[in-house]
Amino acid sequence: MKATFSGVCAIVLSSFLVYARAAETPDLPPFIYTSSYDAVSWQGHVKAYPIGKDGVSSIAQWDAADLIPPWQTRHIDIATASVDANTAPFEWSQLNDAQQAALLSEYVLEYLRGSDKLEVLHGGGFRNRKGKLGDIIYSAPLYVGRSDSAYHLMSASEGGNTYPRYVNSKKQRQAMLYVGANDGMLHAFDALSGVETAAFIPYAIFDALPGLSSTDYVHRPFVDGLLTVGDAYLGNPGSAAWKTILLGSTGRGAKSVFALDASNPPAAAPLLWERSAADDGKGKKDDDMGYLTGEAFAIRLSNSKWAAIYSNGYESENLDAVLYLVELASGGLIRKISVGKGDAEAPNGLATPALAFNQQRAVSTAYAGDLQGRLWKIDLSANEAPGWQIAFNNQPLFIATDSAGKLQSLPLQPLLEHHAKGGTFVMFSGGKAGDGRIPGVAQKQSLYGIWEKPGSGPVSGRKELRQQTLTETSEGLWQLSSNGVNWTTSRGWYIDLPAKLGYVVGKLQIIDGVLWVMTYSPVQEKSYLVAIDYNTGGATSDAVLTGHPKSTPVIEVPASIVPPMFIKLPDGRKQLVVSGRDGAPQAVDINPASQRPLRTWHQLPVPSSVVDPD
């Protein structure tokens, strides 16, 4: 069963008609947060499940959808324009003539704020709703608490000596939960109580808001992008201060990305800037900007400046693959790096980059895949933007093709790790999902581990990789080969995933030397969790799943379109928590490492997929 709408195809899971996503919570809050939605009423839910000594509760403590304040008292801000980054309260008297004309009437504004008095059920002409919170599909709850990005490693002149004090001050700060919804808003909730404290409406989707009230409403995305948060030392020399910056996008709702200052919760986070294809922040079009379905990250550059880094996404006017670096405080363009051309026959676009940092926590390298199957390495180690360049003389590190030689798009963020023999190990999935989020039909799915060997050039193809095979027996059991990898002659490994497993969803994760991969099969309406020895791409050397034999590389888990969350319980037990179709979490116990190598670095909260180079 499917529900289709503009730009997205929603696979409705069984009869529950909902999806769920789990929050990323790097500093261990007392809850697992999940979002879900009803694909009939398009109502959203954000639920908090307590984490106790025995694991995650199966009963939610609260649902933020039930805790939205009365429509008259809600704090909602709108971006009044991209150019000046001003905001105004979402109140009729605060709108200019053009905004009032776009909304059609004050009654529409009241409806969008949550009033139900003019819904059809109450004798009016507006679309009926079950609740005030809209559906949440590809956005996900983001917990913002007391994260530490290790910026104490910076010099004193760059704020390194004051960063520990800033991190300590977060203990007095109210923890928040942010999520984008297809009611046109980015919502901010108190992470402990679930009460909405503020909401923000991006400029790029404002004109489409009246459609939400129509009884002929056809579902479409609005604020459907992923969120990240990062600390940054912003301001002029002598007056700079540490800030916490929230970066988000409208996802498939519009070609737009924005930044908010989330340093002083629960107060509404002020808008710093918004950039879009229609307005680059200076009133000009940006034909390189597409739908950003991945994440933007707040980073520090080698020249000590702070920036937001993000890919251009998909379906840009120019159809190219482009990496953006913009000033974090203002959104001003630092540089765009075009890595791959596209055209109408073979459109291109860049996926979320994985970033490598130097010892001072400045970004040195970005790795990202494009729609044409090319994995790019971009050198950002130079002190000035003109010195940044595509590695290997503008050639990709690797081009992904399936067993028949057909290109496999690389739509997801790679994962980086140290290689035992030096250099960086880059792991990623190949193949479009065919779920409508990224244009194009479904492709064969594969997993890759590519060794960027010091002093060597690009990997020429599968012939330089060791193949591992994943098969299902007649008894319904799964077997993963354990072929050895000769690192003298090989540059990595690959696995072609059986069609039954569907497509890879979300980020890859490594825990105690085990690579964990989540897949979702729309045909089976099932999800699977795959465990792999990341060093070889083969079977792990011992049992990694509690209660399962050593030879078990795949288990079925609740149907989900997002990867599991890793948690460590007070008694030391480790679990992967999968959010099922109704948002309820289910834990999978994993065994502690024995012979498996422990990680040589720990992942810091900003941003995802980082590795400290040698």
Report the C-alpha gap between 312 and 346 in whole angstroms: 16
pLDDT at 283: 87
pLDDT at 407: 96
Q: Domain with 589 in it: what CATH number?
A: 2.130.10.10
Establish if 90 belongs to a structural domain.
no
Establish if 604 belongs to a structural domain.
yes
Which one, of 429, 451, 596, 588, lies nearest residue 519 by Cα?
429
Establish if 462 belongs to a structural domain.
yes
Q: Residue 394: how many CB atoms within 10 A of its CB?
A: 10
- Tens digits of residue pLDDT in 522-558: 888 999 999 999 999 999 988 888 878 777 899 999 8
Strand ranges of the sheet holding 415-418, from the earlier edge strand across to the other edge: 415-418, 424-430, 446-452, 492-496, 466-472, 478-480
* DSSP letter (8 states) at residue 151: G
Establish if 254 belongs to a structural domain.
yes
Residue 399 pairs with which residues in a beta bridge?
374
Report the C-alpha gap between 258 and 160 in whole angstroms: 26
Query: What is the 3-state secondary structure of 565-600?
Result: EEEECCCCCEEEEEECCCCCEEEEEECCCCCCCCCC
Which residues touch 19 (CB under 8 Å, ≥6 apart)? 10, 13, 36, 37, 39, 137, 561, 581
Exposed/middle/buried for 323, CB within 10 Å: 0-12, 13-18, 19+? buried
pLDDT at 17: 28
Domain of residue 536, residue span: 18-71+132-611
Establish if 105 belongs to a structural domain.
no
Residue 186 pairs with which residues in a beta bridge?
180, 200
Establish if 91 belongs to a structural domain.
no
Measured CA distances, 586 to 502, 519, 566, 600 (Å)? 21, 16, 12, 29
Establish if 114 belongs to a structural domain.
no
Give the chain's residues under pLDDT 70.
Answer: 1-29, 82-84, 436, 593-614
pLDDT at 606: 43
Across 251-273, b (16+ Cβ under 10 Å) vs e yields: bbbbbbbbbbbbbebbebbbbbb
424 within 8 A of 452, measured Cβ to Cβ: yes
Establish if 267 belongs to a structural domain.
yes
pLDDT at 204: 96
Which pTM was predicted? Answer: 0.92
**Number of structural domains found in the chain:** 1
Q: Determine the distance from the C-alpha atom of residue 320 to the mean position of all C-alpha atoms in its chain, rounded to a whole number.
A: 21
37 within 8 A of 161, measured Cβ to Cβ: no
Report the C-alpha gap between 140 and 180 in whole angstroms: 7
Which residues touch 373 (CB under 8 Å, ≥6 apart)? 399, 400, 401, 407, 408, 409, 410, 430
